[in-house]
Amino acid sequence: MDPQKTPVILGLEGTAHTAGISVVKGSEILINKSTTYLPTQGGIHPREAADYLSKHYPLLLQEVINELSINLKEIDAIAFSRGPGLGPCLRITATIARALALYLQKPLIGVNHCIAHVELGRMITPARDPVVLYVSGGNTQLIAFLNQKYRILGETLDVAIGNALDALGRSLGLSHPGGPNIEREASEGKKLLLLPYTVKGMSFSFSGAVTAAQRLINVESVQDICFSFQEYTFSALAEATERALSCTKKPSVLLTGGVAANMRLRQMIQNVADEQGVEFHVVPKHLAGDNGAMIAMAGTLMYKVGEFVEIIKSSVRPRWRTDQVKVSWL
Ligand code: AMP
Ligand code: MG
């Protein structure tokens, strides 16, 4: 291994709804393909999501092999999302990763999915040592780096913000995923309806707001419900982010995860950053949600410090928390 050379890493993302495969060389994305399971009704069913992944990985891999501009032999390592996530999905992804590592005779790298969202942001935006607001379908955390670990400063005490948006969207008859549809409806809303607002220190909770908003269905307009729900829940995220910036004195804030695509949330966190006098960075929309490139980029950093996992020891970690990872690459 030549430490001066930028490695070429193949990354596999498959913690829940998305099967993603990407090949990166540093911050350069050579290819990035994904496909996402959409439940026909209700939320994500773990077994159905895993079946979807197992059916679609071979097709996706074939596309990647066909379209990749470099030879497969030039890939230096295989990185995969080892956790946290839905057990059945993680196991499918790990199996593909192990098979690829064996076939190509390359090392395997087990990446923490939440940290991958952070590392992609650090690699493709100017953020270097930010407070991270990570908002997605399955996780919502405020994260900052201290003493070789990404610390969780605050997090949701019940459901993730994306999950809350999707649940409310379903109740309103909007199609899955609810987040973008709620954003569209909210842009037409005017009346601020009273909803629960819960911030405890740097943590927050959303299920009370979901229940209260559901009770307003058929009483108030869909647009006003969506508008109010965004205002209340995003304000809670903004307040906690402000506190995190004030406590840590970090020089920037980074917004990442699928819900980072939301323009109203971006605006609120931008305002917080401006008031605190720190930089605001957000990942581009097409890389905000789960994708293989983020796994490959975190894998790149781990590759450089030789953070590999033997196949025999590469079991998945469905409950792997952000602050359980010893960050040896920083
Ligand atoms: P992830 O789990 O990171 O892939 O993100 C998926 C989540 O992002 C889902 O809950 C979506 O509803 C949510 N999402 C995607 N686009 C938007 C948007 N424009 N506004 C709010 N939520 C969004
Ligand atoms: Mg995610």
Residue by residue, pLDDT tens for the chain (330 residues) are 676 789 999 999 999 999 999 999 999 999 999 999 988 877 789 999 999 999 999 999 999 999 999 999 999 999 999 999 999 999 999 999 999 999 999 999 999 999 999 999 999 999 999 999 999 999 999 999 999 999 999 999 999 999 999 999 999 999 989 999 999 999 999 999 999 999 999 999 999 999 999 999 999 999 999 999 999 999 999 999 999 999 999 999 999 999 999 999 999 999 999 999 999 999 999 999 999 999 999 999 999 999 999 999 999 999 999 999 999 999
* Inter-residue contact 190 to 227 (CB < 8 Å): yes
- The CA–CA distances, whole Å, from 168 to 171, 174, 188, 218, 266 equal 5, 9, 17, 13, 21
**Is any atom of ligand 1 closer than 6 Å to the C-beta of 179?**
yes
DSSP H helical ranges for 130-262: 161-171, 178-186, 207-215, 222-248
Domains of the chain by residue range: 8-117+288-324, 129-282
Taking alpha carbons only, the member of 125, 151, 107 closest to residue 310 is: 107
Among 13, 165, 170, the mutation site with the greatest number of ligand 1 atoms within 8 A of its Cβ is: 165
Rounded to whole angstroms, the Cα distance separating 263 from 146 reads 30
From the CB of 262, is ligand 1 less than 6 Å away?
Answer: yes
* Ligand number nearest to the C-alpha of 289: 1
- 169 CA closest ligand 1 atom index: 12
Q: What angle separates helix 222-248 from helix 178-186, to the nearest 10 degrees?
A: 100
Element (H, E) at 255: strand 252-256
State which of 259, 266, 268, 290 you would mutate to test the pocket of ligand 1, scoring each by most atoms of that ligand within 8 A of its C-beta: 259
The reported pLDDT for the residue numbered 43 is 79
d(CA 14, CA 16): 6
CATH of domain 129-282: 3.30.420.40
Domains 8-117+288-324 and 129-282 share a fold: yes
Single-letter amino acid, residue 218: N
Closest alpha carbon to 131 in 145, 119, 120 = 145
Q: Taking the CA of residue 75 as centre, how many other CA atoms within 13 Å lie in the half-sphere pointing to its CB?
A: 30
Of the listed ligands, the closest to the CA of 295 is 2
Res 145: pLDDT: 98
Closest ligand 1 atom to Cα of 163: 10
Can you tell me the distance from the alpha carbon of 139 to that of 150, in angstroms, rounded to the nearest whole number? 15
Predicted local confidence at residue 156, as pLDDT: 98
Output the pLDDT for position 39.
85
pLDDT at site 297:
98
Instruction: Tell the burial category of 211 from Cβ atoms under 10 Å away from its Cβ (0-12, 13-18, 19+).
Output: middle
- pLDDT recorded at residue 146: 97
Spatial separation of the C-alpha atoms in residues 330 and 245, rounded to whole Å: 21
Alpha-helical (H) ranges within 68-215 are 87-104, 113-124, 161-171, 178-186, 207-215
Please name the residue whose Cα sits nearest to atom 2 of ligand 1. 137
Beta-strand pair 108-112/77-83: parallel
Per-residue tokens: 164: 């809350």
Three-state DSSP at 182 gives helix
Residue nearest (by alpha carbon) to ligand 1 atom 12: 179
Structure tokens at 79: 């990185």
CATH number of 8-117+288-324: 3.30.420.40
Report how far Cα 49 is from the mean position of its chain's Cα atoms: 17
Q: Is residue 165 in contact with ligand 1, taking CB distance under 6 Å?
A: yes
Q: What is the pLDDT of residue 1?
A: 67
State the distance from the centre of ligand 1 to the C-alpha of 87, rounded, in angstroms. 21
Q: What is the pLDDT of residue 190?
A: 97
Cβ contact 16:36 at 8 Å: no
**pLDDT given at position 261:** 97
- Does 14 sit in the ligand 1 pocket, CB within 6 Å? no
What DSSP character marks residue 146?
A: E
